[in-house]
Structure 1
Amino acid sequence: MTALDGPALDAPAQADDSPWGERELADLVRSAGPGASAVTLAVTRGGRQAVRCAGRLDHAASEPCTPDTVFELGSITKTFTALLLAELAARGELALDDPVERHLPDGWRPADVRRGGPVRLLHLATHTSGLPRLPPGLLAGALASWSSNPYGAYDEGRLRAGLARTTVRHRPGERFGYSNFGVGLLGRLLTEAGRGAGYPELLAERVCRPLGMRATTCAPDPPHRAIGHRHGRPLPPWLIPGLPGAGAVRASGADLLRFLRAHLRPDGGGAAGGGSAGPGALEEALREVQRPRLRLPRSGDQICLVWNHRRTPDGRDLLFHSGGTRGCTSLIAFCPQTATAVAALCNAGPTRRDNFAQAAYDVFKRFAGAGDGE
C-alpha cells in the first residue's frame, strides 16, 4: 500500500499458501488511512485463531507491530462500559432501570428533563437518553486542539458543570441519538455504583483481569503503543479525562481476541490463555450485552447494550462496533452462530478518503460466511 502522506506501509505477501488471515490483512493494509504504519487483524472461527500484523509502531521506529501492540480504541470503549454496566447489574449493585440521579456523585445536579423522565441507565447504554452527542462546553474549549486532542481539556469538573446545564427536550427512551456524552456519563455513574473506584480500576478489576487481558488499559502511553497518525502526521496520545467510559481504552489484537472469544462463549469456553469468562456475574453480563433492546429507525439493525446488531436473512446474528480517535481506527465484531470474531486495528485516524472500518467489516463478513445479501 502506498500512503497518501508519509512513508509507505508495505502489504504482506499474498502467496496461495499464505497463512490463514494473511490475505485479509493485506486488504486492511490497503484500506488503512494516510500515514498508517501499523495494522493488526485478530480473527477466530470455531477452534481456529490468529493475530496477523504488518508494519511498525511508527515510521521512525524500529519496533515491529506484534499481537501485543496497543492501539487506541476510541468508541469501542463503549462496549467495555456496557459490559461493566451488565456486570454490576448481575451483582445487584445497580439495575438497568435505575434513574441517573440514583448514582450521581454527591453535589451533582442531573440534566433538566422537560418531557417524560427520568433518564435511566438503560437509556444511556442504548443512546436513547435524549442527551446531546457532546456535553455542553466541550466544543468551546476544544478548538485549539481539535485536530489532535479535542477532549483533552474536558475534565470531570467540566462534565459536572455541563450536566447541570443540559436540557433533555425529548422523552427519554423515545428517540435514538448517538451520544458520547451519554455513555461517558454512564462510565462515571458506574464508578459510583462500584464503590468509588475510578473507571480504569473498575474496568481492570471486573473485566480485564478475569479475562486475562493484560495489555488493556486506559493509560495514555502504555508499552508497545502504536503511534497515532492523522493525515500522515504523528500525534500525541489520545486524552479523554472527563469521559473515559466513552473512549479511553487501549488494547492489543491479542487482548481483543480474548474479549471477543469471551462473548462467543460466556459460559467459560473462551480463548486459550485467559479468554474465558469464568463463573458468575461476568458470565451473565456477557450474555446480557448481546440482547437486542430496540430497532433503529429506517433500518433493520437493532441496538443491544451499546453493540450494533444485524440479522442476516439466513438467521445469523452479527454484532459489531467501530471506533476512531484522531490517530487510530478500529472495528470489532462477532457472530455467535459461526463462532467467528474479528478485531481490526490501524494507527491512522478515520478520514473521508479511507474505508478501513468498512473494509474490516467486509473481512468479518467473509470469515462469518455472511455475504452481500445480509
Structure 2
Amino acid sequence: MLIEARDWQSDAVRSIQIDASPKNTVSAVKKAIEGSEVIGTNLQRLSYGGRLLKDERALEDYQIDNTSTLQMWWCKCMACRALSADQTFHTMRIYVNTPREQTIPLTVSRNGSIFSVKSKLRDEDGTPAGRQRLIFNDEELVNGKTLTDYNIAKDSVLRMATMEPVGIVPVTVCIAILDRSITLEVRKTDTIRDMKAMLHQLEGIPPYHQRLKPRYGYGFFNRDMNNADLSDDITLGELNINRGDSFFLLRRSKHPADCPCFECCGSSFHFFVKTVAGKSIVIDLKSFHTVEAIKKKVHDKEGIAIHKQKLLLGDVELEDDKTLFEYNIEVDSIIRLVVVSGGKSSFSSFFSRVTGSGQSAIMKIARHANPYHFPPE
C-alpha cells in the first residue's frame, strides 16, 4: 500500500510503501508507518478521498484495498513532538456525570483541550460535542482552554449539561490544506481559540499551524481582515458571524512566538558561538528560537551590535528569521561569529557605497542644512 506523506509545514511530498491488508485497522497502519519511518502514531493523520480515517476502523470500511493510495499529514516541528509525547505519557482518568445520571470514566491528556474531552464524551454518550456544557466547580469550561487551566486533576468529577440547538450557529470552514470543507456547530460567545481547538481535535491540525480568515456572504474576505490574522481571544459575536458565513483555514508555516507551546514545549539547550579570536560564547535557547535571538544573546553578553554580526554554521550563513530547528542546531553545536565592520545598517557605509565619500558626504548634507553651525572648508 502506498502512502503519500506531507508535513504541515511544507508542500514537499514523499512516498512510503508499507505492507497492509484491507482487514487491518487504521491504527495498525499508523504503527507500521511508525516502525519504518519513526513518525509517532500521535503525529499522523491519515485520510482517503478527502475523509479523515478513524483509528479503530478497518481499511475495508472505507473501501480501501492494496492498490489504494492514502494521504498522510504529520508535523515534524518540536512543538508537535512535545505535544504528542505529552498526550501519550501524561494521561489521567477523570469522570463526567451526565444528565441521565450516569458517570462516565474518561482517559484524557493532562494538557488536553476541553473540546477533546467533549469529543471523547460524544463517543461514549452520543451527545454532539457542540451541544455539551461541561461544568467544574460551578464554572463552565471553555473549548479552547485546557484541563490544566482549570486545575482539573486525576479523578476529578465534571458535570455535563446539554444545550438546546437555539443559539448554535453552523459555520463552514474551508480547509485549504486538505482541499475540503467541514461544518462546525459554534456559539457567538466562542472565540477563535475555541474554533482552533475544535479543528485540532477533528482534523489533527495543530492550533499553532492554523490561520483563520473569515469570509462573508458570497465567499469574499472581509477587507479589513485580509492582511491580519484573527486574534485568538476575539469572539465570533465580535466578528458578527451569522448563519451562512464561513472561514478559510490557511497554513502557518512558522511557529508563532506568542504561542504558549513556544515557551512550554521543548527543552532549552546550550551551544557555542565562537569568535574569530577563538573565544567561545555559551548560548542557551530552544529549537523554536530564531537566529536573530542568537544575535541578541551575543549582543547582551559581548556588546556586539546585531547588525554587525554574521553567523556561520559550517559554510552556511544563517538567516535571521530562520529557527534553530531549521538549521538542525543541537546541543554543543558550534557557530562561528564574524564581525562585519560598519554593518548593513550603518548610515555612513550607505553613503560610502553611493558616493564613495562616506563621512564627507554626510558633512556636506549637514553643512548645507545648517551653514552657520560649521566652519568653512
TM-score, length basis structure 1 = 0.24
- Considering Cα pairs closer than 8 Å and 6+ residues apart, tell me whether 1 or 2 has the greater RCO: 1
TM-score, length basis structure 2 = 0.24
Greater radius of gyration (CA): 2
The structure whose residues are more often strand, as a share, is 2
